[in-house]
Amino acid sequence: MTKQFQLTDPLRTLAAETAKRGANPPPCLRRENETRAFFELYKDLPLRERQARSFAYALVNEPVRLYPGERVNGTFFGGGHDAPLSDPEWGEHSAHPRAARRIAAEIPELVALANQWPEREPEPGKASYLMDTGAAPGHIAWNYDLVLSLGIEGLLERHREALQLAADPEARAYYEGVVICLEAVLAWNQRHVDELRRVLAEAQADDERAFFEANLCVMERVPAKPARTFREAIQSFHFQWLCVMYEVPYGGNSPGRLDYFLWPYLQREYEVGELSYQDAGELVAELFLKMDERVHLQDGHVNTIVVGGVKPAGTDAVNPLSYLLLDVFEELNLTHPAVYARISETNPPEWTDRCVAYMLNGGNRAQLLADEPIFRAMTRDGHMPFEDAAMYMCGGCMELNPHGMNSDLLWTFTYNVPKTLELLITGGECLTTGQKQRLSMPGSLRDFDGFEGFYAAFEREVRQALHAKFRCLDIYSEERARCRPAFLQSSMVADCLERGRNLQDGGARYADYGGTPCGLQNVADSLYALEVAVFEEAFCTADELIEALRADFEGHAQLHHRLLQVPKYGQGDPGADAMMDRVLTTVCAAFDSYRNRHGGRAKPIIFTFVWAPEMGRSLGASPDGRRAGQPIAHGLTPQAAGMTEGITTAIGSLGTLSHDVVSGGASTMWDMDAAWINQPLLKSIWTTFVQKGGHIFQGNTTSVADLEAAMDDPTAYGHLIVRVGGFSARFVNLARPLQEEILERHRHQA
């Protein structure tokens, strides 16, 4: 694909206007309107009808905002406020407050371990972070292609028919709720139609009238009816996106495979010449600007489009729209939506070339996903058929799940695994606070005669902590199913219609949970160093090691030096790499051993987001030689101390790992010197990465000098975007510790 998209002056003007509105947004009225409806207008209705009518009331009464020059219509600002999920003032009718009370009573061991994020230096007596008790929502897609192909009216008809046939009272209540909420979508759209008619009646100039007439023609048809043209499909997608995000306004909820679902609506017009590549690109650009406008200042609110890959039958899914979405996104200096690329062996070679170019020239916003290694992990042990795995997307950063098939506990928590090791070494003593924190730890490192006994204790601690968390998620699932049925989203999640249940009540095809175990390479390198130092070469005792860690190696320089010399994962050392694989399989086995209340699995999703410095601040010194408070490493990438032999050796070590056990996706971070990296070299690195079984590839190419300049003069570098970890952000908007972590990352060079 050689045709290029060019950013026009009208689009630049539109970009400036949407950014200005997004930076100073008017309030979303959902909370006040839904609260009034739930506790006053509909307080005497049955629960499901009360929930549906209260949400519908809020949606229909959200202001209609139309702006000059925009062909993609419909606007609300911000992440919204999901009171049925998390508003304490809703009392017994809000899911998360209910769940928190139950967890405190039913799983006290998790509450004892779950502490606040260490946003500043730990204070004496303040507990340090190990695992949170919460359950982040979002991180899935839904089958909006139903709206494109059937229209809201067609989707309504399906649910009305199901309502008439249903004998199960809970199913009837669910279907009735869906009908009420879909009717609200039509009603809010009608308010836009009415406003367009009013504006059209007042328009004087012929070109102005023609513009509003075209907008009116589109909105009179979609999303009520099936889309026929690319412009209608863009508008239909956008309007349903707004309505569902109004209901479930969370980062990670994503458009997913937009090129796959929108291409049929562009294909005919494009192939017969009715709509040029440039014309189609301008519509896409307007859509992207509207998506950014809603959450313009929230770089971490990741709504991801995944392009390329394969169809359910395994055939090539790349099409001209796949290229166009990349072209448009490269031209726009946006962080919303995120656009990531799947690459399969079945895709044409030029697609790989285009994706590698995107990694180089995409402004540190690219993320590449290797289809075949990911398929092996998703279909392992027969958990998921290939045709479902083939539809995978990223639920935000990199939370792999099949498009429109999973419940929204897909990514929910983080687990600071190095903290478990620290507490096991010290016998429950937190090295940053001096407090005692225990699960079942019988003693400390000094109480073990051999490494295998110590490692077995580590395995038990990991499993116990994770299983406590998964029981917590079962409670969250129960309370979400009761308090926040998400009727709109559920109506487009696979199997909810057939089962007559919302996505958290057993309706979704997959009820898999997911969470992120962080710092695995720090754990592995520490375990290997500990094994060598205490049990094999015995150049220190357990007491000497613990004292050195307490002192952050002050006064223990010789021991610190020897620990640093122990081989690290990433250096090509078989023993160090084997320890990393052992830790990875241990942690992933603890995930896989749990079955939740719907029979779903727990999936490890390995990435680091913004947690590298935050988790590092909660840790004392570690046996691998890491000093107290230093950041942990990213994803499955070797830590900086392990990348001394170059990127080829580091990827070779990565290739020794059992990637197939990481069913939720395994990320890596490879920052590279811009003066060294080029297209042929990066393509070679990518090819090696895939051959070694890697899943997800990301990184930065911005120079250290530019990052340092941005820290010194933020106003001059407001445009600079960097790869953080699963998402990209404006560098100057990041917290100082995160800026420093990015600045200090290992950069590969000649």
In angstroms, the CA 725 to CA 741 distance is 11
Work out the number of other CB atoms within 10 angstroms of the CB of residue 70. 19
Check: CB of residue 390 under 8 Å from CB of residue 377. no
pLDDT for 79 equals 65
SS (H, E, C) 354-387: HHHHHHHHCCCCCCEEEHHHHHHHHCHHHCCCHH
> In this prediction, what percent of the chain has a pLDDT beyond 90?
91
Check: CB of residue 684 under 8 Å from CB of residue 361. no
Quick: pLDDT tens for 685-710. Answer: 999 999 999 999 999 999 999 999 99
Mean pLDDT score, 162-175: 98
Mean pLDDT score, 238-265: 97
pLDDT for 124 equals 42
pLDDT for 596 equals 98
Mean pLDDT score, 307-316: 99
Between 432 and 542, the higher pLDDT residue:
542
What are residue 406's DSSP bridge partners?
A: 510
Question: What is the arrangement of strands in the sheet containing 414-416, beginning at the earlier edge strand?
Answer: 414-416, 513-518, 602-604
- Residue 185: closest CA among 488, 457, 618: 488
Mean pLDDT score, 473-486: 98
pLDDT for 412 equals 94
Name the maximum alpha-carbon separation found in the chain: 89
pLDDT for 121 equals 42
**Band of pLDDT at residue 438, cut at 50, 70 and 90:** low
What are residue 517's DSSP bridge partners?
A: 415
CA 169 from centre of chain: 35
Q: Is 166 exposed, middle or buried, given 0-12, 13-18 or 19+ CB atoms closer than 10 A?
A: middle
Check: CB of residue 405 under 8 Å from CB of residue 387. no
**Band of pLDDT at residue 436, cut at 50, 70 and 90:** confident
Work out the number of other CB atoms within 10 angstroms of the CB of residue 164. 9
Between 132 and 269, the higher pLDDT residue:
269
Q: Determine which of 116-120, 253-257, 447-451, 490-494 has the lowest per-residue pLDDT on average.
A: 116-120
- Residue 639: closest CA among 618, 665, 659, 616: 616
CA 608 from centre of chain: 11
Q: Determine which of 102-116, 359-373, 451-465 has the lowest per-residue pLDDT on average.
A: 102-116
- Residue 665: closest CA among 685, 635, 691: 635
Judge whether residue 434 has pLDDT over 90.
no
**Band of pLDDT at residue 78, cut at 50, 70 and 90:** confident
pLDDT for 118 equals 37
Highest mean pLDDT among 82-91, 349-358, 427-436: 349-358
Check: CB of residue 246 under 8 Å from CB of residue 298. no
Judge whether residue 111 has pLDDT over 90.
no
What mean pLDDT, rounded, does the chain reach?
A: 95
Q: Cα-Cα-Cα-Cα dihedral of 682, 686, 691, 696, to 10°?
A: 160
Q: Determine which of 134-138, 267-271, 488-492 has the lowest per-residue pLDDT on average.
A: 134-138
Quick: pLDDT tens for 626-655. Answer: 999 999 999 999 999 999 999 999 999 999
Quick: pLDDT tens for 560-610. Answer: 999 999 999 999 999 999 999 999 999 999 999 999 999 999 999 999 999
Q: What is the pTM of this model?
A: 0.96
Check: CB of residue 135 under 8 Å from CB of residue 413. yes
Judge whether residue 1 has pLDDT over 50.
no
Q: 271: phi > 0 → left, psi -120 to 50 → alpha, else beta; which? A: alpha
Between 750 and 11, the higher pLDDT residue:
11
* First-to-last C-alpha distance (Å) of the chain: 32
Buried (b) or exposed (e) across 375-408, using 16+ Cβ within 10 A?
Answer: bebbbeeebbeeebbbbbbbbbbbbbbbbbbbbb
The residues near 377 (Cβ < 8 Å, ≥ 6 apart) are 659, 660, 661, 662, 663, 665, 666, 695
Judge whether residue 377 has pLDDT over 80.
yes
Three-state SS at 304: strand
CA 107 from centre of chain: 27
In angstroms, the CA 452 to CA 530 distance is 12
Angle at 215 between CA 214 and CA 217, to 5 degrees: 65
What are residue 131's DSSP bridge partners?
A: 415
In angstroms, the CA 401 to CA 378 distance is 8
Mean pLDDT score, 26-52: 97
Residue 390 sits at φ, ψ, to 5 deg, of -60, -20
Q: Is 449 exposed, middle or buried, given 0-12, 13-18 or 19+ CB atoms closer than 10 A?
A: exposed
Judge whether residue 37 has pLDDT over 60.
yes
C-beta contacts of 718-724 below 8 A and 24+ residues apart: 719/333, 721/333, 721/335, 721/363, 721/364, 721/365, 722/364, 723/364, 723/365, 723/669, 723/671, 723/698, 723/699, 724/300, 724/609, 724/610
Run of H or E residues at 245: helix 230-247
SS (H, E, C) 382-431: HCCCHHHHCCEEECCCCCEEECCCECCCCCCCEEEHHHHHHHHHHCCECC
- Residue 352: closest CA among 687, 741, 698: 687
Check: CB of residue 534 under 8 Å from CB of residue 540. yes
In angstroms, the CA 31 to CA 33 distance is 6
Three-state SS at 553: coil
Q: To the nearest 5 percent, what fractions of the chain are helix, strand and coil?
A: 55, 10, 40
**Band of pLDDT at residue 81, cut at 50, 70 and 90:** confident
pLDDT for 4 equals 85
Judge whether residue 119 has pLDDT over 60.
no
Tokens of residue 717, six digits: 């570098």
- Residue 620: closest CA among 415, 414, 416: 416
pLDDT for 522 equals 98
Mean pLDDT score, 10-15: 97
pLDDT for 123 equals 46
Run of H or E residues at 461: helix 451-483
